[in-house]
Copies of this chain bind each other. A is one copy, B any other.
Amino acid sequence: MLKYQQIAAEIEQYINDQDLKQGDKLPVLEQLMSQYGVSKSTVTKALELLERRGVIFQLRGSGIFVRRHNRPGYMSLFSTQGFKNNLGDRVLTSDVLDVSITKPSEDVARNLGIDVADDVYRVERIRYVDGEVFCYEESYYVKAIVPYLNREIVADSIFDYVQSALGVTIGFSDMYMQVGRLNETEAGYLGLKMDDPTLRIETIFHLTNGKPFDYSRITYHYEHSQFVVQANGPYM
């Protein structure tokens, strides 16, 4: 783990341990430097990271302050998208409906930047948060990058497996969201009625080298999906 990541983690831990609230002040930069025994730029980098994650904000001439105070019941939109599956103390489980190797449709192939002749894993599951239906997910993995999957892996976190077992690292993702109505199949999966409202999110996950490796379509249960997004400034 890199120094600045380590320091960021420790500062976040410190905030939790001291139970600091919105607006509370952290030690000044210079103290953090000597405290962790690193240079200014390393501390700055750790703080930038925490700032982007919505944990703190910095005000020059004044200090470093705690920002986070998320509403209970709202999940970070990013935490539900493969990134860090810490949904706090919530339990995430899955019903795996399908894990199979197929050929992608035109649409899927385009989103993954591959040919329709290339193999993909198709994964279909229903996901639960604390036992309640959360979403229905259909996703496709490029087999050339993810050569093997099974029901066990898929029931757990696919991303953890991909990163640890395959040694590839996820770089960035593009999410496309829209609101609509459930069709009959989806309604059945989610325990809702046809034409009920829903949030649909398509996400294309890329490796650090820019290659797409996962395209997923998620249909959310509208009553159990509340998301928070923390944005940073006009120049984010």
Contacts and interface: CB of A to CB of B under 8 A. Distances in A.
Nearest to A60: B208
A70 B59 CA distance: 33
B53 A179 contact: no
Interface string A60-104: 001001010011001001100111100000000000000000000
A211 to B, nearest CB: 9
A178 B231 contact: no
Interface residues of A, number: 55
Contact of A228 (B49, B77, B174): B174
A198 interface: yes
Contact of A222 (B71, B83, B180, B231): B180
Contact of A174 (B78, B175, B179, B230): B230
A23 interface: yes
A152 to B, nearest CB: 22
Contact of A230 (B172, B220, B222, B226): B172
Contact of A81 (B23, B52, B198, B231): B231
A173 B54 CA distance: 9
A210 B65 contact: yes
B236 A53 contact: yes
Identical subunits present: 2
25 contacts: A52-B52, A53-B235, A53-B236, A54-B172, A59-B210, A62-B209, A67-B172, A71-B176, A84-B234, A170-B233, A172-B233, A173-B231, A174-B229, A176-B226, A176-B227, A176-B228, A177-B228, A178-B227, A179-B179, A179-B222, A181-B197, A196-B197, A197-B197, A197-B198, A229-B229
Given A83-B231, A229-B77, A57 B172 contact: yes
A5 interface: yes
A220 B179 CA distance: 9
Contact of A209 (B59, B170, B232): B59
A236 B78 contact: yes
B226 A177 contact: yes
